[in-house]
């Protein structure tokens, strides 16, 4: 890839910043498709869906995260992704994500049959989160 100027990029979650530093390209899962942002992009506010967020650090180095839904803001030479959760792709524990997925699906099945009063919406979120992690790790691995 040709050399691009660096700009400031942060991926922020309620549990702290997942990434905060300089990068040459940021690709986020926009609600209507992936959005790639380089330095000096026009100011933008958008929505993000759960998916893969990639930070290109330059020299071919890429950091990938499995991110939850959130928002995206580009200011003058600064891009901020505000997401409810971010897990580094190489730190995703497939077995754990799979176990979480199955536990949530089992609980959901219990609700369907009337054996549980757990919050359906929350379970659906958990399933989506686990699926998202699995799909991101599947691609990078």
Return residues touching another protein (CB under 8 A).
12-17, 30-32, 42-47, 70-71, 73, 75-76, 78, 80, 82, 84-85, 119, 121-122, 125-126, 129
C-alpha 45/C-alpha 97 separation (Å) is: 31
Of 31 and 106, which has the nearer Cβ to another protein? 31
Q: For residue 119, report the phi and psi dihedrals to the nearest 5 degrees.
A: -75, 115
Q: How far is the CB of 86 from another protein (least distance, A)?
A: 11
Of 23 and 123, which has the nearer Cβ to another protein? 123
- Torsion of Cα atoms, 75 then 45 then 57 then 68, to 10°: 140
Of 51 and 70, which has the nearer Cβ to another protein? 70
Of 15 and 59, which has the nearer Cβ to another protein? 15
C-alpha 51/C-alpha 57 separation (Å) is: 19
Helix, coil or strand: residue 104? helix
Q: How far is the CB of 19 from another protein (least distance, A)?
A: 12
Q: For residue 41, report the phi and psi dihedrals to the nearest 5 degrees.
A: -75, 155
């Amino acid at each position: 890839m040709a050399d691009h100027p660096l700009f400031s990029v942060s991926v922020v979650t309620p549990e702290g910043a997942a990434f905060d530093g300089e990068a040459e390209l940021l690709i986020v899962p926009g609600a209507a498709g992936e959005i790639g942002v380089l330095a000096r992009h026009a100011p933008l506010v958008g929505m993000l869906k759960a998916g893969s967020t990639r930070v290109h650090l330059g020299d071919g180095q890429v950091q990938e995260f499995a991110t939850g839904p959130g928002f995206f803001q580009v200011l003058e030479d600064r891009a901020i992704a505000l997401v409810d959760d971010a897990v580094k792709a190489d730190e995703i524990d497939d077995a754990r994500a799979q176990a979480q997925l199955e536990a949530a699906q089992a609980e959901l099945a219990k609700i369907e049959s009337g054996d549980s009063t757990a919050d359906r919406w929350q379970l659906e979120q958990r399933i989506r989160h686990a699926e998202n992690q699995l799909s991101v790790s599947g691609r990078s691995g």
